[in-house]
Every structure is written in structure tokens, then in C-alpha cells.
Structure 1
Amino acid sequence: MENKKVKHRFITGFTGLRALAVIGVILYHFNGQLFSGGYLGVPIFLTLSGYLVTDHLISEYSQNNYFDYGHFWYKRIKKLYPTLIVMLIITAAYITLFQRNLLANLWQSVITNLTYTYNWYEILNGQSYFQNFAGSESPFTHLWTLAVEGQFYLIWPLIVMLILRLSNRNRITDEPLHKRNVFYVAIILSIISVLEMAALYHHGVDPSRVYYGTDTRMFSILFGSALAVVWPSDRIMHNAGKNQSTFFNVLGSIGLAIMAILVFTVGSQSEFLYRGGMMIFSLATVLIMWAVLANAGRWNKLLTNPVFNWIGSRSYEIYVYQLPVFVFFGDKFKDIADHQISYGFFELLLIVGISELSYRFIQIPFGRYDYKETFDKVWFHLKKMKKIEVVLLLSLVLGIFGIVQSTLVNPHQANHTQLATRIKNNSKKEEAHNKKLAKKIKSNQKIDRPKADVEEFEKEGLTANQLNEASKFSGCAVGDSVMLSGRDELQKIFPRLYIDAAVSRQSAVAVSVLQNLKSKGLMGNNIIIGLGTNGDITDDTLQQIMKIAGPKRHVYWINVHVPTQPWQNADNDMLNNAKGKYHNLTIIDWNDYIKDHPEWLYDDQTHPNPNGAVKYASFIAKNILPK
């Protein structure tokens, strides 16, 4: 018997939610300090996907006692693959021509994106979502979410079909479908996912594994799936009473209010985010979705407007292209921190323009294309090609050439890995060195400095008296990858300094690190902080650090030099304003010192190279040691 064609309701308010989601993501990349939770647009996409896929699946099964899994995937590929493939190849073409330092591992990125396994590739290769300054920045990092959704499309329909088949063994087609077991399974799996996220998150450690993982992010999708069971899309309250309208108006308001509060207050490495915050945001998304679905209040209408319709209908294209624009633009313009508004406006124009072209010339025609007749029409289209199609074809050819060429590039010899290798090596040295140093500090053992180290830094202008004082300097240093890049040289000057530096570290992490060092007796009499490269420094964080330090310890904070990021100036302004509040706080103005010496930095214009590391350590010492 031929399956009945299932008609699905188009929910206009969902398009508005997609618009809000992609706006949040754009704002996060534009100014992660002001829109610290803009990345939470991603759970909106995931929750919507969970609802729509499950609603479609149950609706088709209800009418036909069967779900066409193959046809479902055919439609997904038609909708998602053309834009993804073109984006990957055009990006590869750009890398081949203008940013060849990213050729290493390009082919792996392309293949894993096409197979929807990219999130696990990022996890297995240690690709941090939060570290963009070690030369490992990728224009594909954001595509992890497509991989999570692709894996959901692969597995969840099979699970639901099995549940429905077992729950409806003797069902006649016209009888109601028993589907509540789908709800129970979705909720159980969601709880497991939430608990796993909380368990795998460790404060002070880069949370990328938790952030990327299909297992730890699946609850957002499954919450949407559960809603599809409770409130299918064909259930509309046409004649809702006043109380019902009020209920859904309040419900949607609560959901949106919670989402807004989290977007403006929760940073991407907040402990609260991974231990309940993201779950709360996803549940808030379910509330606003429910209000839209019921159509009993004002929310569907409010989220249905020409602006949201335009953005939402192109949200996939905007999301796919936004990060390549930010990465490539940041590579060519190193002074973004000083031109946030003008550059940001230009980046936005690029994203919107590229997305519109992709929507018009890729999404619409290829989404409607009948691939069964592909081979018969290829020659016909080649003869009828327009200029823009010729340009597109050349870009595709060049991109494919770049992908093939990338297979020949040794990742360890690629220019962009020099900094990553240095940081990785320094991180290993730090761990081994700190174990030995901790024992010497606790036993008050003398630590000799090699004569070669003395001579090296005397050439940098440090006096014998200063180096003698540095050898007795008691304290600890907490930093991010910038300090990690220069840790060897800093350790040479201050042999008793306990240095704890890590990649991707946010300033708030310093609180727990210092508390741990204090409990172990390794804090010493002075504290050097080198944080702010990866995001904003808050007054609350500074206040907590100064409280831990107490009035008798001196805190030296090395300010931020990350000209490609919008938070540089805000962080440095905050630190300058804080100088007058604390008598024992000194700001070391590394930003002013290094800005005229780009030759001392790697190409990212943030991390000191080997020569710059000597300058970095010497400059810090000159600002700490008496003259």
C-alpha cells in the first residue's frame, strides 16, 4: 500500500526563534563581553530540530504505520548538503589563495564535516572552542553543531520507530497512536545527558569536550522531541479563551525572560552553565516554543514579522558563513579592538551578502532540484551557465584543489603550528617542573640559577641586584596561553615562582586556581596574573582575587594585548580603573609596550615568539623588581 503524503504545519514563529538564535551567535562573535551568552543561540537550533524531526516522524508513522527513513534522509541532504558543500569548498579556495597556514588538516575537516563527525574530530584533536589565538583557529569550528544534529538524524528516528513499533503492534491505522513511551525515553536520555555534562565538567579545565560532545549536548534536542509528543504541530487552539491566552502569554514571557537573562549574564566557561544552566536555557526554549505552537496568545504573532522571517529563513546560511568571515577578516585586520563598530558593521555586511547569495543561488535551486535527473541535465546546465555560476564553478575547482593539496601538508611543519607546538611543549615542561618546584618551595630549599640565564637577562637591562632579588622572589603566577608561551623565560628570572598557566583560560578561573595554590602553601607573598586574552575580566573576579590575596600580598596584573578581539580595550580600561581601589594592585602595561613591536609576536599578534618571550619576561621583571 502506498504511503499517504503527510502535510505538516509551517510554524512561522519558529522562523522567528531561528532568527533570535542566529542573532545571538553573531553578537557573541561580535562582542563576547557584552553578549557573553550569545552562543546559547545554538541550543535554540538544537531544540527546534528535535521538535520538528520528532513531530514529523510521529505524524508520518501515525498515518502510515511506517516511517520512510530513506526519504527522510534524502530530504535532509537536499536541504543541508548543498550549502555546506559550497561553503566548505569556497572556504578551502580562500585558504588555498590567501591563508595557506590553515591548509594543514583541511581535508580532515572537510571529510568529517561531510560525514557529520566533526565534533568528535575536534574533541580527539584537542581543538578548543574557546581558544582562538594559538594558531589553531579554524573557520569550521562552529560546524560541530551540524555534526550533532546529523548524528541525531541518524540515530533518533531508528529509536523512535522501534518504540512506536513495539508500542503499536496490533494497531489499526485509524486508531490513536500510542506514543508516550517516546516521551519517557526522551526524558530519560535527556537526564542522562544533563548529568553527564555536569560530571565531565571540571572547573578550571577547558570545557571543549563537554561543549562539543553529542552525548553531553543531546538533552537540548531531546527536550524538543519530548515537546513534540506532548504538543504536536497539528494541535492549534483556534478559539482559546482569555485564561488560556493569558497562560500561554505568561508561559512565553517566562521562557524568553530566562533566555535573555542567561544570554547577558552567563559566560561560555561558567561552571553554572555546565551544571544546570544550559539545561535551564533549553527548558526555557521549550516554554517559548510551546507558547508559539499553541497559538493561543501573542507569541506566534510577535515572532512573525518581515525582519525575523528574512533572517530566520536564511539562518542556516548565516550560521554557516559567519565564522569564516570573522576568522578571515581577523587574519587580515589586526586592529579590530580599535575599530569594533566600523569593522563589525563591515563584517555583518559580508555575512549578510554572502548568505543572501547562498540562499538565492544554492539553497533555493538545489533544494528544489530533482537529483534523479541529475545526469541528464548536467550538460544542459553547463551550456546555459551564467557568469556567477562560472565564478562559482571556478571556486569549487580551486577549493577541491586546495583540499587535495592539504593532504600533502605535514601538520607539524605548517607555519601555524609553531606557536601551538611551543605552547604544548611549555605546558608539558610546566607540569613536570612544578612537581619538583613545589617540594623545593615547601622545604625552603635553595634554587640556583644557571650563569647563562643571568647573562641572558643582563643583556635585557636587568641589573645584578634585580636578578638577585628575583632569585628570592616568593610568589605564584596564574595565566593563559600568553603566559604559557613565555613561561620558560619567566621561570629563568624568577626561579622560585610557581607558574600555573593554561590554554583557553578565562580570568574567572583564577579564583579557584589561587584558592588551590593557597591551600597547598604555594601562593607565596606575591601574585602575578596574566589573564584576559580569552574574554572579559569582571569587577567581581578582580574583587575575589584581591580578597584571596589579602592586604599583605601584592598583585601584579599584566594587561591584555589581543588587538584582533573586541574585549581588549574594555579589559584594559577596567584594570586601569581598578588601580585606585586597591593599594596592593599594580597593572603592568604590556599592551602599550608590545604594540609597537609586532616582530616580537607570532602572526596572531597576541602571543610572544621566542625572542618576544624574553622581552615579555624582562618587561614583567622590570615592573616588579626594585630599580
Structure 2
Amino acid sequence: MFQTPRPVESADARRLPGLDGLRALAIVLVLAYHLFPGLAPGGFLGVDVFLVVSGYLITTLLLEEHGRSGGIALRRFWVRRARRLLPALVLVVTVSAGLAALIGGDVLVGIGWQLVGALTFSYNWFSIATGADYLTQTSPELLRHLWSLAVEEQFYLLWPLVLLALLAIPRSSIRIALVSALAISSAAAMALLTGDPALDTAAASAAYFSTLTHGFGLAAGAALALLRARRSRVTAGPARARMLTDVGGVLAGLGLVGLSLVLTIDGAATYRGGLVVAVVLTLAVIASADRPESRLTTLLDAPLPRWVGERSYGLYLWHWPVIVLLGAQLPALDRANLGDTWLLGVIALTGSVLLAAASYRLVESPFRRAPHAAQPLTLRALAAVGALALLAAASTAVAQAPPRSEAAELIAAGRLAVEESQRRTDRPAPRDEEPAATVGSTLPSGDEITAIGDSVMLAAAPQLQERFPGIAIDAVVSRQMRQAPQIVRSLVESDRLRGTVVLGLGTNGPIDPETLHEVRALLGPERTLVLVSAQAPRGWTEGVNADLVDFARTYRLVELSDWRAAISPRLSLLAPDQIHPGPTGGQVYTETLVAALQRIADLPPLVDYDENPGLHRPR
């Protein structure tokens, strides 16, 4: 007679020392990165910590099962994973889609493919296929954070099969070498395929999303588990060695925190070794904690870290939809202002903690602890209700979803206006398009101005063209200040750079003041330069604007068009992303530029003391 094998300990019941505390550190880094811009610029590495922990934990459990029974019960493993992940995921997706349908607008853009990607654990591949840009994070998708859950679930699906094949190899050293080579190959592929993240965000985003190029953390964790299994018994060792190992683990944990303060999502170092360092540090923490008499384990398994770590999955699921929905519902909060940024983050954090705690107690734990053979009737009823609620919320959200975001519409309209203007460059502007006379000194006309900018300038292009007919606008989405010298040099060499240059770059990343000096040198002493300040809910904008102000004070023919100050009291004139101006916002953008040009036009002429020897040169 067939007998059901005795269930082995699941990944949910079996706890390895210190892993909950390490999960707590990972989710804190992620929350700091997403909810408090600028606090931990590299906090996204918390995801890589999660990946290493998952690779290590799952491989350890599968190896222990194989050691006990001589095989791996694949169906039971996959059912356990589904029971662990799906209930909370379905709840979050249902509530998020339902609330998004009530709010409407930008939060529903692309919701159809997001739902399919989330519920089939293929979100990362859908993101790559649709060209989702992880680096700029403008008008972010409601469920964007589920890309990492997709990577993990793909690992859960395939890794047990791969591990069974590896276990057929008699020598453990070969198994470890193969998995280590897999990790190294994945990391190398990310480094090679990323290019310059600041210039090619599409390639960097694809490398970041892909399981093939961002799976090295999972493979590294698995390799450590194989190495640990090779040493069938880990002894405590001498007291001095234990102390040194504990200190090494603590330093590795502090190294993760320090790394989160220096890495940036658009920095080449992140993709060419930065994330690998994070993985190595995580391995060091695990190796230090998962051994007898580890004092580091006592720290990591303290009540608070353990509580947070146990709920880290729910915190990860909830925090991103909460911040996106709050940002859409409370557009009056200026996230570019530090105080309001932290206020919104605190509200989102509070809501995320409460939702995660409720989910853990009422949804995750009941489903996870259900008997293996059959779930109780109440859980089956809850599952049925959840499925119906998900279907209703998803259908409503998809039916109401706009084809693209408001910001994308504004950018597209601006791009169309620029292209139409370029087609008409050989036609003289009609007399009735000329601007009205300005009080004071004469401003440059449109055919005397070259404007170089990013998507913000594109959105304001129709208003700029109306005020300055014939203005030459060279604006591209996601452009950064570091590209300015090359653009200016090309225009100078082709004799297409006009006497007044407007530079509107700073929205998409920090700037180096040396870049501004290089641009000024390329312009020469006879040209005028106007710098446009940046308005964006980004951690770097305050630093960008401070650099622009300092630079404008350095040169006589450099002026600041303070777009940030002009639009801050009127954020309702921007798209929901609080970056791109609508038509009235475009007028504010243009009027601010006019004021800056007027200040330059009103400057008194320079005195030539050599031609006027009677004048006293100021000391």
C-alpha cells in the first residue's frame, strides 16, 4: 500500500540562525531607499541581500531533505513555496489594483501587463520587453517592485531540478565550482552588458531586471550552502577564532550599510562590482552567523530584528504600492522638499508596517501552517473570495487604464512641436508670431537662442516656441549634465551654436561643477549662458541647484532661470510625477527664462579702462 512520506521541515518552519535579522537589515535598506530619497542612495542592494539569503536557505533545506530521504519531493517543495508566497501577493495585488482603479490616472498606466507579470512571476521579463526604465523611476509602475519576486520564483522553479542534476556528480568540489562559476558568469554578464548606466538607462535596466544577469546573488548563496554541506559538522572552534569570526560578521554587516550610502542606481560602479561586493559581504554575515556559539546570531536573532525579518516579505510587498498610491493621492506634497519628503515617507512607512503585520497574522501564517494534505475549509473559502476579488479589481483597473501617463503625453506633444519646428526651419516666422516689446533692454530673439535640455524642456517646448519663435531646442528624455560638453562641442564645430545658450539639465542625476566650467569654456566669452534649476522629487536636486547657483555667481554672462523656485508654490501645474510641466506650467517655465534673459540684457556694459585712461580702475 502507498504511504505518504513523512513531511520534511519546510523553509517556513526551519529557521537557520541569523537569517531573520539579515532579512531585517535588507528590508530596512530597501525602505530607506524608496521611502526616504537621499537617505540611502544604494539601499536597493537590500534586494541582493534577500537573493543571497534565499539561495542559501533554499539550497540548505533541499540538501538536508536529500540527505534524509535520498531525494527531493519536488511537488511538495513547490506547494510550500506557493503557500508561502501567493496568499500575501494576491492580497497586495488585489488591494493595490482596486485602490488604483478608484484613484485613476497615471497609477493605472500599464496595469494590464503588470498584473500578468505579477501573477505569473515573470514581471522582470515583461519589464524588459516593455522597455521599463528602472533607473529614472519617473511615473513608476504600481507593481514595479515585483520584478525581484519574479527572479526568486524562477529560481524556486528551476533550482531543485538543477540541484538534483548536480547531486548526481560524485565530487562535491565540482558541484561547488560549477555553481560558483554560474554566479561569476552572471555578475560578469551584468558588468559587460550594462554599458554606461547614466547614458544608456535601457541597457542598465535590462541588466538589472534579468534573471540571467542579476541571479548571481542566488547562485552565490547556493554555493555557500553547498560548501557548508560539504563540511558535515561545523565545530565551535577556539574562543579567539570565534571572536574574530563574529567581528568579521559585524564588519560585513556594517559594510553593507556603508555600501548603501555610496552606491547609486545610475553609477557604473554599481553594476561593475558594487553589487558583487554586497553579495560577498552578505555571504560573510551568513557564514559568521550560521555556526555554533555565534554571538552575531544572538544580535541578529534579537526580538526586534527577528520580528521585522519575519514580516520582511509583507513589508516588501506593501511599501511600494503604498508610496505610489499616496504620491498619486496627495500630489500637493512636494517631495523635492526635504521636510515633505520625509513626511510622506513616514506616512508610507507607518502604513506599510501596519499592513505587513496584519497580513502576516491574518493571511500568511494561517496559509503557511495549514496541514499538508488538505487546507481547512475556511482557507479554501478565503482563497476563493480572494480570487474573485482579484478578478474584479484587475478587470476594473485594466478597463480604466490610460494608454500612457500624463507626463508621457506632455513629452510626446513637446517632441512633436520640436520636430514640426525643425521641418519649418527654412520658413521665416510670421510677423504676428513675434513677441511683444519688452520693457528695458532688448531680449534675444528665438533665432538667437539654442536650448539644450531633457524631458522637462521637451514638455515646455510648445510654450518656449510660442514666446521665442525660431528657438532651436535640442532636448532628449533622460539626458544628464555630463552629456552637455559633447553636445555643445558638436554644435560649435558645426557652426550651429547661437549667441544665447539655455541649459536645462539636472533632473536626471547629480552634476559635477567641472562640467559647467567645461561648457562655459566651449561657449567662449561672447556667448550668454542661462542655467535652468531642477524641480524633481529626487534626492540629488538640492545639490544640483546649489551647484547651479554657485556657478551662476562666478561668471558675468551666466544667469540662473530658477524654475524650481517659480514652480514650487504651484505644483498642481505639473504632471503627477511632479516633474513635467503642463501647458500653464510651461508658461511659468518660459516666463522664468524670460526674467533670466532680461537680467542679463539689463547688465551695464563693461568699461574698457585701456581706452578710457581717465577712469580709475576699481581696486
* TM norm. shorter chain > 0.5: yes
Choose 315-324 or 325-334, whichever is displaced more: 325-334
Choose 52-61 or 520-529, whichever is displaced more: 520-529
Whole-Å separation in 2 of the counterparts to 1:301 and 1:527: 61
Runs (5+) with no aligned partner, structure 2: 603-619
Given candidates 141, 144, 163, the residue that maps to 1:141 is 144
Given candidates 1, 17, 40, the residue that maps to 2:45 is 40
Taking a change above 3 Å as real, the CA distance of residues 399 and 66 of structure 1, as seen in their structure-2 partners, is closer
Work out whether 1:193 is the aligned partner of 2:183: no
Residue 563 of structure 2 aligns with which residue? 590
- TM-score by length of structure 1 reads 0.82
Whole-Å separation in 2 of the counterparts to 1:75 and 1:462: 75
- TM-score by length of structure 2 reads 0.83
Whole-Å separation in 2 of the counterparts to 1:286 and 1:59: 20
Kept in 2: contact 1:259–1:281 (CA 8 A)? yes
**Structure 1 residues 398-409: aligned runs within 5 Å:** 399-409=390-400
Taking a change above 3 Å as real, the CA distance of residues 570 and 157 of structure 1, as seen in their structure-2 partners, is same
Kept in 1: contact 2:533–2:563 (CA 8 A)? yes
Whole-Å separation in 2 of the counterparts to 1:97 and 1:351: 20
Deviation of the 1:573 alpha carbon: 4.7
Kept in 1: contact 2:506–2:544 (CA 8 A)? yes
Residue 408 of structure 2 aligns with which residue? 420
Choose 118-127 or 609-618, whichever is displaced more: 609-618
Percent of residue pairs bearing the same amino acid type: 25
Deviation of the 1:519 alpha carbon: 6.3
Kept in 2: contact 1:6–1:59 (CA 8 A)? no
Deviation of the 1:150 alpha carbon: 0.8
Deviations 1:489-516 (A, max 9, x none): 546748574624223x5xxx42245346
Whole-Å separation in 1 of the counterparts to 2:23 and 2:36: 20
Taking a change above 3 Å as real, the CA distance of residues 476 and 483 of structure 1, as seen in their structure-2 partners, is closer
Work out whether 1:458 is the aligned partner of 2:435: yes
Deviation of the 1:235 alpha carbon: 5.8
Deviations 1:284-337 (A, max 9, x none): 211122111235653222222111111111000001000111111112223243
Whole-Å separation in 1 of the counterparts to 2:129 and 2:210: 11
Whole-Å separation in 2 of the counterparts to 1:339 and 1:17: 30
**Structure 1 residues 413-452: aligned runs within 5 Å:** 417-424=405-412, 450-452=428-430
Kept in 2: contact 1:183–1:229 (CA 8 A)? yes
Choose 57-66 or 489-498, whichever is displaced more: 489-498
Residue 231 of structure 1 aligns with which residue? 228
Work out whether 1:545 is the aligned partner of 2:516: yes
Whole-Å separation in 1 of the counterparts to 2:379 and 2:398: 29
Residue 448 of structure 2 aligns with which residue? 472
Work out whether 1:258 is the aligned partner of 2:262: no
Question: Letter of the aligned partner of 2:405 in structure 1?
Answer: T
Question: Letter of the aligned partner of 1:623 in structure 2?
Answer: A
Taking a change above 3 Å as real, the CA distance of residues 283 and 494 of structure 1, as seen in their structure-2 partners, is farther
Whole-Å separation in 2 of the counterparts to 1:402 and 1:321: 17
Runs (5+) with no aligned partner, structure 1: 169-177, 383-388, 438-445
Kept in 2: contact 1:256–1:285 (CA 8 A)? yes
Kept in 2: contact 1:233–1:293 (CA 8 A)? no
Residue 122 of structure 2 aligns with which residue? 117
Deviation of the 1:592 alpha carbon: 2.1
Whole-Å separation in 2 of the counterparts to 1:152 and 1:460: 67
Taking a change above 3 Å as real, the CA distance of residues 83 and 252 of structure 1, as seen in their structure-2 partners, is same
Taking a change above 3 Å as real, the CA distance of residues 260 and 408 of structure 1, as seen in their structure-2 partners, is closer
Residue 159 of structure 1 aligns with which residue? 162
Taking a change above 3 Å as real, the CA distance of residues 62 and 202 of structure 1, as seen in their structure-2 partners, is same
Taking a change above 3 Å as real, the CA distance of residues 29 and 599 of structure 1, as seen in their structure-2 partners, is closer
Kept in 1: contact 2:434–2:469 (CA 8 A)? no
Deviation of the 1:620 alpha carbon: 2.2
Residue 613 of structure 2 aligns with which residue? none
Whole-Å separation in 2 of the counterparts to 1:590 and 1:308: 44
Deviation of the 1:16 alpha carbon: 0.8
**Structure 1 residues 316-395: aligned runs within 5 Å:** 316-333=313-330, 334-335=332-333, 336=335, 337=337, 338-370=339-371, 372-374=373-375, 376-377=377-378
Residue 69 of structure 1 aligns with which residue? 74
Work out whether 1:620 is the aligned partner of 2:593: yes
Whole-Å separation in 2 of the counterparts to 1:297 and 1:236: 15
Kept in 1: contact 2:236–2:291 (CA 8 A)? no
Kept in 2: contact 1:4–1:64 (CA 8 A)? no
Question: Letter of the aligned partner of 1:423 in structure 2?
Answer: I
Taking a change above 3 Å as real, the CA distance of residues 378 and 348 of structure 1, as seen in their structure-2 partners, is closer
Other structure's SS at 1:187 match: helix
Whole-Å separation in 2 of the counterparts to 1:610 and 1:322: 33
Deviation of the 1:19 alpha carbon: 0.5
Question: Letter of the aligned partner of 1:267 in structure 2?
Answer: T
Whole-Å separation in 2 of the counterparts to 1:117 and 1:460: 59
Whole-Å separation in 1 of the counterparts to 2:538 and 2:429: 40
Deviations 1:545-603 (A, max 9, x none): 334543847653322223x5566556545544555466665332112222344564323
Whole-Å separation in 1 of the counterparts to 2:402 and 2:350: 33
